[in-house]
Amino acid sequence: MATQIDKEACREAYNKVRDDNTDTSWAAFKYEGSMIVPAGTGTDYEEFKGMCTDDARLFGFLRITTGDAMSKRAKFTFITWIGEDVSGLQRAKISTDKTLVKEIVQIFAKEFLISDPRELDEDYLRTELKKAGGANYDAQAE
């Protein structure tokens, strides 16, 4: 059966993260049978990380504050999580299903495909986003 997505519910979760007037910093999207639905939103990154278990496959959209001494700004990242215990067929299917999610999650600075929990480290993601962000004035004296 072809995978489908609950566009309206997923778009609502995505927009919560994009909205500067909310504290929401992440949204997760999971599989319920052959449907991709929101798995939740929140403000605590550790809560998102907790969803990334060995038997899970999910998509995440995160707001991470980056910047340097001169400016702070919100950067967005798109994460595809594939746990170590996910079957080969499900692993293969996630790459085509990702296009459904990307119809909604369109604006992000960097995309990650992660299956190692160590790569979910918030500082690692922040560093990678900073590299993707261009100019960095941290080396200059204030």
Q: What is the pLDDT of residue 136?
A: 55
- What pLDDT is stored for residue 93 in this prediction? 93
Q: Which two tokens stand for residue 54?
A: 């060995």
Task: Per residue of the chain (142 residues), give pLDDT as tens.
Answer: 789 999 999 999 999 999 999 999 999 999 999 999 999 999 999 999 999 999 999 999 999 987 666 777 889 999 999 999 999 999 999 989 999 999 999 999 999 999 999 999 999 998 888 887 665 555 544 4
pLDDT of amino acid 141: 42
Q: What is the pLDDT of residue 139?
A: 52
pLDDT of residue 142: 42
Q: At 54, give phi and psi (nearest 5°).
A: -60, -25
Q: pLDDT at position 134, please?
A: 61
Question: Pseudo-torsion of CA 66, 77, 41, 22, nearest 10°?
Answer: 40
pLDDT (0 to 100) of residue 68: 66
Predicted local distance difference test score (pLDDT) of residue 135: 56
Residue 87: its pLDDT value, please?
94
- Count Cβ atoms below 10 Å from residue 109 Cβ, excluding itself: 19
Domains of the chain (ranges; CATH) run: 4-132 (3.40.20.10)
In whole angstroms, give the CA distance from residue 66 to residue 130. 6
